[in-house]
Amino acid sequence: MLVSGQQQLQQLLNLFSENVPGFFFQLYRKPEGSFQLQLVSESAGKALGIALPQLGQDSAAALARVHPDDVDDLRETIQHSAQYLSPWSLQFRYQHPAGDYRWFEGNATPRRDAEGGILWHGYINDISSIRQNELALAEYASQHREIVDNIIDAIITINEAGLIETFNNAAVRIFGYQPQEVIGKNVSMLMPEPYRSAHDHYIDAYQRTGEAKIIGQSRETKGQRKDGRLFNMELRISRIQRVDSYKFIGMVRDLSERKRAEVLIEKLAFYDPLTQLPNRRLLKQRLAETLKQRQPGQELGALLYIDLDNFKHLNDSLGHGTGDQLLRQVASRLQQSVRQHDLVARLGGDEFIILLHNLSPVRQVALQQAELVAEKVRTALNTPFKLEQLSYVSSPSIGITLFSDDNNSIDELLQQADLAMYQAKAAGKNMIKFFDVAMQVKASERTRLESELREAIKRQQLQLYFQGLHDGQGKLLGAEVLLRWFHPELGTVSPAVFIPIAEESGLIFEIGSWVIEQACRQLAIWTESKQALQLKLSVNISARQFHQENFLPQVIQTLERYGVARNRLQFELTESILVSRVDEVVAKMNLLKNYGVAFALDDFGTGYSSLSYLKRLPLEQLKIDRSFVDDILNDPNDAAIASTVIALSEALGLGVIAEGVETAAQRDALAALGCYHYQGFYFSRPLPGQDFVAMQQQAQLH
């Protein structure tokens, strides 16, 4: 049976399409403008989900499944190609009859026939998986890299002698040659050495033995562009057999962008983008390798945990841009402070780790070596930094832990160094501390207390106590609300112990809100009962609690629920609240003042003091800190400070009260300086609500 030329072409297309992930097509536009799909490889049926007979009769059925957002682009692309006889290439979405949208990439080259019609020869590839990979890469590193949107494969056909016969547009783009420069020449010109010299040997071996090690398989190799540059590529070779000869189709995918993306992803995964230092993940990986390789009795190693002192204040006052400048300069100085084989990493924020290798196997000597490095780091970081026009002095708190023959786990070593760092910070900052077991015990106890403090409110272990505020004759003017924790096993836990834990853990938000609620509730009870105590209650508010985003609405909501608390509630703030965001502080205070809340500045003179800020605050009262009252009878400096506070309060039109008054002599000394309101054991001790009321009722009878 004779086979027509059209049938031969169809068979050839089908052979081509068996080894490529797409299908070939031949599209004809007649002179009057109508389109006819003349040829299409059999693989089109599977790709499009339309039977070939139906596709041949009604090619518009496939066009109707193109995504509405892409169909105009496809039409315009084909029209432009027809008008200028230019090749077209486009990626578009196609709805498969199975229901899902798939990404296709079409490439075609036109030519005009004698009758004025236009014939396109093209190839359409399903690139859905490629697009999914691109989206995954882009999502993973969207802020730091650009991912190639389109990956177009080169299609090159060569004959059995290894000579190039066809060279499509993608091959031109990838290799840099025009078709006329390569057609008829050995394909080895696209290969670097040693593949170039060995290529003819591979062809000869295939012709002699039929052994094809690379045909039908995909592999990564190197290609060489016209300008001599080498690049990574994925190569797939298929063989097409004819009656008396055979050809090879090579499909080449340029992997350069993917390789660059892989390098970038690795960098993003293992390095801090701000300082370019190894991050926590790479640190733990290197630390794991070090611990695995180390044998008992060998050279020791150490971890230095470094935290910058007062970094938050720098960020809050000068902005994160300035903070980032400091972090980059700190990273540079840390790297200059250690040996080349030591590792400097950034854990996040203002926390850094130095991993020291090859210290002495003698523990005491290793400790001295680690301490020398820590001192070098401290000196480097104590040297002023140049931040734009600002000369900024920083300091580090450094914790050190050594590896031991117990082969400590990674997390355990990091925790030990972290604990030592916190001890350095607690000791006054700009300090160096070594880890010891006592720190671990203390940390475990703190963790236990934090866990149990979380349950204290639910278990009704927290209770409000009240300490009276009095005038010189002992008359009750109000009371300060104090918090007590009665633990079923530990007994009474001091506020000096659990309040710092609440501050550090964030529990102060929940506890502080509960205290305000209970104080307002107590005012309501006293108002409605026969006791009818018309007192003003003072509640301590921490700086962290005051700066909480929802602090203001929570307080207002409570005041609206307990209307009797208005004009009878006073918040005691410490000077630390003025360290940052002063405008916000003033605005919050003014708004709460409109709801009847009064303000006192607690522990005045012990912290941050600025008269320019002080005069802006809607205060009613200054409290002289107990540290100035304790020795007011013997220390002239304490008396002078108390006198200054009293004079300042008078100048600003504020009331003044002294806390910690325990003797009549202290009261008299304060009165002589002009302070007539007091709080302290001389007048009354903190008592629970009912006992406090009973004490006042008893005092009224005498």
Same domain as 303, residue 414: yes
**pLDDT class of 257 with cuts at 50, 70, 90:** confident
Tell whether the model's pLDDT for residue 482 goes beyond 70. yes
154-159 vs 246-254, strand pairing mode: antiparallel
Among 258, 280, 299, which residue terminates a domain?
Answer: 258
Note the pTM of the prediction, 2 decimals: 0.48
Q: List pLDDT tens digits, range 210-241.
A: 665 666 667 788 889 999 899 888 888 877 77
Same domain as 227, residue 291: no
Same domain as 249, residue 375: no
Query: Among 522, 540, 457, 446, which residue's Cα sits nearest to residue 691?
Result: 522
Tell whether the model's pLDDT for residue 272 goes beyond 50. yes
d(CA 517, CA 531): 20
CATH assignment of the domain containing 198? 3.30.450.20
- Supply the pLDDT for residue 1: 39
**Residue 373 falls inside a structural domain:** yes
Same domain as 685, residue 552: yes
d(CA 214, CA 295): 46
**Residue 408 falls inside a structural domain:** yes
Same domain as 596, residue 540: yes
Among 128, 162, 183, which residue terminates a domain?
Answer: 128
**Residue 449 falls inside a structural domain:** no
**Residue 289 falls inside a structural domain:** yes
Same domain as 212, residue 67: no
Same domain as 559, residue 583: yes
**Residue 451 falls inside a structural domain:** no
**Residue 424 falls inside a structural domain:** yes
The neighbouring-strand residues paired with 250 are 156, 237
**Residue 263 falls inside a structural domain:** no
Counting the structural domains of the chain, the total is: 4
**Continuous H helices in 154-241:** 169-175, 179-182, 195-209
Query: Among 162, 164, 182, which residue's Cα sits nearest to residue 172?
Result: 182
Same domain as 631, residue 488: yes
Same domain as 610, residue 464: yes
Q: List pLDDT tens digits, range 348-372.
A: 889 999 999 888 888 889 889 999 9
Write out the residue range of the structural domain in which residue 198 sits. 151-258
CATH assignment of the domain containing 315? 3.30.70.270
Among 202, 233, 258, which residue terminates a domain?
Answer: 258
Tell whether the model's pLDDT for residue 496 goes beyond 90. no
Mean pLDDT of 651-679: 93
Same domain as 254, residue 197: yes
Same domain as 310, residue 249: no
**Residue 118 falls inside a structural domain:** yes
Same domain as 211, residue 349: no
Kindly report the backbone phi and psi dihedral angles of residue 169, in degrees, each rounded to the nearest multiple of 5, phi listed first.
Answer: -60, -40
